[in-house]
């Protein structure tokens, strides 16, 4: 099997999965098809010798982001019939958007500098995509990279700040305090003289009953 056959195989699976994402009736199935689309596009990236990007795609999107997606979709009580209302009404808008995206893609990919017909450069066996990517990110593109990181950090802090609120009416536990607890604070060992004879033990039980009365 040569690279071209593999490419068309992965591409066909990607397109099919992407189509099923928007046509599947069950939203959970749609999410799982999105996972399939990610995995098969990671396969295409592998064919381009971009193993770092391919594995990062699987690690970040499939391993973390889609798990949370799945999480949310499972928790939602989605009425599919209700979602389908107004499908025809919004169809023209959707088609227009699709057309715009299609034109943009043809425009960009058809540009002579990029050239969709070009075959990818084949590298030597000791070529490391990871090292190359690291070199570019931390030398030539260090400022855009840091900027992107800071923007993501701001978004993260903002999301946490928006959802973090202390409720006065709810009880909460301070786990730090709980962990700090020592045996001596809670437990008191008292020495109780043991009853040596069976008769004495009997007496203790009986007197205990009297006390309860």
Minimum distance, C-beta of residue 31 to other proteins, in the bound complex (Å) = 10
Could you list the residues that contact other proteins (CB under 8 A)?
28, 32, 35, 51-52, 55-56, 58-59, 62-64, 67-68, 70-71, 74-75, 128-130, 173, 175
Closer of 28 and 48 to other proteins (Cβ): 28
Minimum distance, C-beta of residue 172 to other proteins, in the bound complex (Å) = 9
- Backbone phi, then psi, for 100, in 5-degree steps? -60, -45
Minimum distance, C-beta of residue 129 to other proteins, in the bound complex (Å) = 8
Closer of 71 and 141 to other proteins (Cβ): 71
Closer of 173 and 191 to other proteins (Cβ): 173
Minimum distance, C-beta of residue 126 to other proteins, in the bound complex (Å) = 9
Closer of 179 and 198 to other proteins (Cβ): 179
Q: Cα–Cα distance between 5 and 7 in angstroms, integer? A: 5
Minimum distance, C-beta of residue 69 to other proteins, in the bound complex (Å) = 11
Closer of 7 and 51 to other proteins (Cβ): 51
Closer of 128 and 202 to other proteins (Cβ): 128
Minimum distance, C-beta of residue 78 to other proteins, in the bound complex (Å) = 13
Q: CA distances (Å), 186 to each of 52, 58, 116, 181, in order?
A: 54, 49, 73, 8
Task: Tell me the DSSP string of the chain.
Answer: --HHHHHHHHHHHHHHHHHHHHH-SSHHHHHHHHHHHHHHHHHHHHHTT-HHHHHHIIIIIIIIIHHHHHHHHHHS---HHHHHTTHHHHHHHHHHHHHHHHHHHHHHHHSTTT-TTPPPPPPPTT--HHHHHHHHHHTTTHHHHHHHHHHHHHHHHHHHHHH----SSS----HHHHHH--HHHH------PPP-SHHHHHHHHHHHHHHH-
């Amino acid at each position: 099997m040569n690279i071209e056959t593999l490419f068309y195989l992965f591409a066909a699976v990607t397109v099919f999965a992407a189509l099923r994402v928007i046509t599947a009736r069950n939203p959970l199935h749609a999410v799982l098809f999105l996972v399939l689309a990610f995995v098969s596009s990671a396969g295409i990236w592998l064919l381009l010798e971009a193993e770092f990007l391919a594995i990062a795609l699987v690690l970040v999107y499939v391993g973390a982001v889609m798990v949370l997606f799945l999480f949310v979709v499972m928790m939602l009580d989605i009425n599919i019939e209700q979602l389908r209302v107004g499908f025809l009404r919004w169809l023209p808008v959707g088609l227009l958007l699709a057309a715009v995206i299609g034109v943009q893609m043809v425009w960009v990919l058809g540009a002579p500098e990029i050239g969709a017909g070009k075959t990818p450069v084949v590298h030597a066996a000791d070529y490391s995509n990871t090292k190359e990517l690291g070199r570019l990110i931390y030398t030539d593109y260090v400022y855009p990279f840091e900027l992107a990181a800071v923007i993501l950090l701001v978004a993260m802090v903002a999301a946490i700040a928006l959802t973090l609120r202390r409720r006065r009416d709810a009880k909460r536990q301070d786990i730090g305090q709980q962990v700090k607890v020592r045996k001596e604070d809670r437990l008191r060992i008292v020495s109780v003289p043991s009853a040596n004879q069976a008769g004495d033990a009997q007496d203790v039980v009986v007197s205990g009953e009297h006390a309860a009365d």
